[in-house]
A and B are shown apart, each in its own frame.
Chain A
């Protein structure tokens, strides 16, 4: 049970940990105080509890596919917030008080939302075993280990982004955020396919023999690039469309800035 618990918790924590790391790195770069994080995590925990407690009702929405639709909706909002953040980061008056306030709000909302998506399953999982005295210790130890590994990988990611950020300015962080955002869009599409709101299609390829989604590398690639070993055409199309939309607006803003300067 310990190993199952490690794997389950790590999978859920990893994506949120990497997103939080990216936001912390951005805070570091922009010299924003980290006081926003405790509010964001607090609201995220409360929202996760409310979501998990009402999952029975939520699951019954939309003729039984409420879970998929609500999760997809959360992913779409996170994508939109990440896109807005990337575009905002190119603005000229980035370090103005108002600009930094907006960035802080966006980061806070995004972390709270990603916690609902990722941590609600952990809540339910731990609740299941809370009344099972035989297995609870193993589950909790596994949860602790999974959480620790996830946070360690998040810390590594944070330092890597800081290093790259110092070397290559903000553009590196924007590119990483764009990939995470596109991955969110692809995951949302997958959920709507599962709900039968979008047509299911045959996979374009199968790379599971090279990189399994079960492996740590697969999980990391999933968290950063939305990796799927058997993606369909619609998922791949949505991924690249989402990526290009952000990069288009970022580059447009970049050229607008240049033309204003010159």
Chain B
């Protein structure tokens, strides 16, 4: 019973232990993501550090990654993704979706 409770607490409440999380830097410039293709190792949690170099705000959005975050102009934002199975996960800037597009490629 004790083990079961412990498992439940671990499942719901414990933030991930602070193991070294790889950081991947992405820039937004002229409503484009640089780089637009982001290679990520499979089954690994990754921290995306996104710098919006435009003066205007942008929203990072991905249905496939289940992520959504407003990044104000000339600001940085952190988004954690993964661990993910191998595959392609498109993302886009919701304010400028025609140009601001990219993909997380998990191998």
A residues contacting B by CB (< 8 A) are 4, 8, 55-56, 59, 63-65, 67-68, 120-121, 124-125, 127-128, 190, 193-200, 202, 208, 212-214, 228-230, 233-234, 237-238
Contacts and interface: CB of A to CB of B under 8 A. Distances in A.
Contact of B12 (A8, A198, A202): A198
B69 A194 contact: yes
A194 B79 CA distance: 6
B88 interface: no
B6 to A, nearest CB: 15
B53 to A, nearest CB: 15
A1 B43 CA distance: 37
B75 interface: yes
Contact of A59 (B15, B75, B97): B75
Interface string B33-71: 000000000000101000000001101000110111111
A124 B57 contact: yes
B22 interface: no
Interface in B6-45: 11-16, 21, 45
Contacts of A128: 56-57, 95
- Which of B13, B68, B77, B97 has most chain A Cβ within 10 Å? B68
Contact of A200 (B70, B76, B82, B85): B82
A63 B45 CA distance: 17
Interface of A is mostly: helix
Given A56-B75, A59-B72, A64-B78, A200 B11 contact: no
B70 A124 contact: yes
A234 B75 CA distance: 31
B63 A213 contact: yes
Contacts of B63: 208, 212-214, 229
Interface residues of B, number: 35
A128 B97 CA distance: 14
B80 A202 contact: no
Q: Interface majority SS on B: helix, strand, loop or mixed?
A: loop
Contacts of A8: 94-95
Given A56-B72, A128-B56, 20 more contacts: A4-B94, A4-B98, A59-B70, A64-B77, A68-B69, A121-B70, A124-B70, A124-B72, A125-B57, A128-B57, A190-B66, A193-B66, A194-B69, A194-B79, A194-B80, A196-B47, A199-B14, A230-B66, A234-B11, A237-B11
A134 B82 CA distance: 39
A125 B72 contact: no
B59 A121 contact: yes
Contact of A228 (B13, B66, B71): B66
Nearest to B73: A128
Nearest to B43: A202
A197 B15 contact: yes
Contacts of A121: 59, 70
Given A56-B72, A124-B70, A200 B80 contact: yes
B75 A125 contact: no
A234 B66 CA distance: 14
Contacts of A195: 80
Given A194-B69, A234-B12, A4 B78 contact: no
16 contacts: A64-B77, A64-B78, A65-B78, A121-B59, A128-B57, A128-B95, A194-B66, A196-B21, A198-B12, A199-B11, A199-B14, A200-B45, A213-B63, A228-B66, A230-B64, A233-B11
